[in-house]
Each structure stands twice: as C-alpha cells, then as structure tokens.
Amino acid sequence: MTASKPNILIIMVDQLNGTFFPDGPADFLHAPHMKALAARAARFRNNYTSSPLCAPARASFMAGQLPSRTQVYDNAAEYISSIPTFAHHLRRAGYYTALSGKMHFVGPDQLHGFEERLTTDIYPADFGWTPDYRKPGERIDWWYHNMGSVTGAGVAEITNQMEYDDEVAFLANQKLYQLSRENDDQYRRPWCLTVSFTHPHDPYVARRKFWDLYEDCAHLMPQVGMLEEQDPHSARILHSCDYARFAITGEHVRRSRQAYFANISYLDEKVGEFVDTLARTRMLDETLIFFCSDHGDMLGERGLWFKMNFFEGSARVPLMIAGPGVTPGLHLAPTSNLDVTPTLCDLAGISMDEVMPWTDGESLVPVIGGEERTTPVLMEYAAEASYAPLVCIRE
C-alpha cells in the first residue's frame, strides 16, 4: 500500500451460481475460507452479470460497459483495444497490473491494460467459436459443450482445467511473494493482481477429497425440475446443448451438482492460500480483496444447464469486497458486475470524473457507506440460442 492507494487482489471464478451465496457461501457449502472472507466483506446478495456468457461477461467486467457498447456479444467477438478497462485506469494512477488465468480475450490484444500475464488463457483467442446466427438453435461447438458434461460427471484427480487452475494459483501466489519483497522499495507501486479461475465451470468433474464432502448433501437435486413446456428461448437453449441426444437421469443430475459443489470447495482452498500468503507477507491489512464470478450455472433448474439466460441461476453472481475502507455488511439492492470497474477506481482514489464517461456502472462505495441505491440493473444477451438480442432489467 502506498499512501492512500491500497493493493487490490481480484479473485474471479467461472460460472458460479450466486443463489448459493445469499450472504456469503450457503451453510451447506464446505467453504471455510470464503466464509471467513465474507465475514469481513461487503456482500452483495443481488449482484448480476452484464451478460450470461463467458466472453461478453468478461469484456463487460473489465470495462464496466454493456455488450452493446463493447460489441462483444458472443465467445468469438473481438475485444477491441481502444476500450479502456480497469487495468488501464489503474495503470494511469500508478498501479502495477497483472493477470493470472482466464479472461477470454478474443483478438490480438491479450493484455487490455494488464502489464503482465502470468499464464496463457485456457480458451482460444481466435474466431473459431463464431455462432451461425442463421441457425439460432445450434452451437458451433457442439463437439465441446453439450450434455456430455452432465452424463460424464464424476471424480478425477487431474483434468486440463485442474492443471490450469493449479498453475493459475501457483503463479499468483508466487507473484504475491515477489510483490511483498518490493514492499520496502521507495519506488514501489501499488499493485492490482487479478486471479481468474476456470472452475467451477463444467465439465462437472472434481477431485475425490472435495467430492466426498458432499456425499450426504441435501441439495443435489434442483428445486424445480424439467418443465413440461419451455418458453421459446429455453427450448432453443436445450436444443443448442444437444439435449435430445442424451437421456439425463436423476443420478446424472446429482453427480453433476455434487461435482460442482466440490469444485467450489476446491476454489475455497485456493482462496485460503491467497489470504494466508497476504497475512504471512504482512500485506493483508493493506489489500482490497474482490471475489466475483462472470456468470452463473442453472445446474438443472427448470431442466436447464450452463447459462445463456436471465434466470437467477444463470444471471446472479456473487460479489464480496473486503479490505481497508470497506465496512462489512450485507447489501440487498440490485448491483452489477458493471459496477466493479468504477468501484475499484473509487477505492483506489481515482477521480470518478475521469472514469464515469467510460463505464455504464456505478461505484458501490456509497452503497457500502450506507446510501440507498435505486438504479436498475441491465443485462443483455445476443449469442447462441437467440433469434434477436435479449435484454433484462432487474429493479
């Protein structure tokens, strides 16, 4: 921490359903480190993605702009370099910025304001996943993403996603130690390290030690199962996931949800490692910690899986902020991941006059301080399974 500028650690996970975080992690989740973080954090129960799909959600998260402004509508839309992100704003204010992990940037710019990336991305940066908008009920990547994630749910000690996230965590921890060694340097800059995991995104496969935590879990079946009649968009989602080709059983559903919960516990272990490293290096008290997700996962509610819709399981995501200047407490007003960029900048002491022209969000600092928020939350979707752009307003 330099003068009034705190360090910032952003822990971003992938496809984490916010309904399991009503006030921090739900009681049934084995997540002691996330629960400890929640106890000292501002917690936003009704926080929403800007778009329920990876690349659009992450581009919006970085810039604080809706997809209609970033023009990133699907998982193969180029994220152009002229859009300022929170990493740009923070660098301009003197911060060192780095990314460890996934951010699903499509196009030649793989930094978007970060000075350094500690890992490669896990997803392609090219245009191979461009949807065919003439066939709205189909996906370009059926070979990769279909209901096989559900029928194949179970236990594995290593997968490409586990290898990736293990590396993301290892290199992020290594970077924290490196940054701590620069603490006594008179020229040291405040830092912002973004650590972005790919779990608990499907495939629904988990390590045995986490899987076993949920053997007797009472939440392995959805509250609302498959509906006899789906709305048109939900029906297109089912078709785009090749649902008819798979015979989904109750056991498949239970195993998928068990693995998903297990992977939350896997991530909890990583969160604990970071907090422990910050404490050991005496940086914890001067570091803001943001915990968030890009979008959620339906996990079988209404018969739907993954995301691509505005139902709560898909659109609602956790947001917790802990650290200097943040009063712990639960906030119920609807908020958005679009608010993260202006909030980061506000807490870093950057003039909001310089940031607000570039964002569709609002700083949450006034909300944390007890002020009432009445601004509605906006969401947009225009990717797979959509015939036309979809919008949602949450008041």
Domains of the chain, CATH where assigned:
7-394 (3.40.720.10)
Distance, CA of 108 to CA of 132 (rounded, Å) = 22
Q: For this structure, is 54 an active site residue?
A: yes
**What is the pLDDT, as a whole number, of residue 185?**
65
Beta strands 287-293 and 7-14, pairing class: parallel
Distance CA 322, CA 288 (A): 6
Active-site option among 104, 145, 201, 295: 104
Contact indicator for 11, 195 with CB cutoff of 8 Å: yes
Which among 54, 192, 241, 292 is annotated as catalytic? 54
pLDDT of residue 39: 98
Q: What is the 3-state secondary structure (H, E, C) of the chain?
A: CECCECEEEEEEEECCCHHHCECECCCCCCCHHHHHHHHCEEEECCEECCCCCHHHHHHHHHHCCCHHHHCCCCCCCCCCCCCCCHHHHHHHCCCEEEEEECCCCCCCCCCCCCCEECCCCCCCCCCCCCCCCCCCCCCCCCCCCCCHHHHCCEECCCCHHHHHHHHHHHHHHHHHHHHHHCCCCCCCCCEEEEEEEEEECCCCEECHHHHHHHCCCCCCCCCCCCCCCCCHHHHHHHHHCCHHHCCCCHHHHHHHHHHHHHHHHHHHHHHHHHHHHHHHCCCHHHEEEEEEECCCCCCCHHHCCCCCCCCHHHHECCEEEECCCCCCEEECCCEEHHHHHHHHHHHCCCCHHHHHHHCCCCCCHHHHCCCCCCCCEEEEECCCCCCCCEEEEEC
Residue 178, pLDDT score: 96
pLDDT for position 141: 63
Residue 192 a catalytic site member: no
- What pLDDT, on the 0 to 100 scale, is given for residue 186? 59
Residues of the chain with pLDDT under 70: 1-3, 136-144, 183-186
pLDDT digits (tens, 9 = 90+) for 348-376: 999 999 999 999 999 999 999 999 999 99
> What pLDDT sits at residue 137?
62
Q: Can you give the pLDDT at residue 123?
A: 85
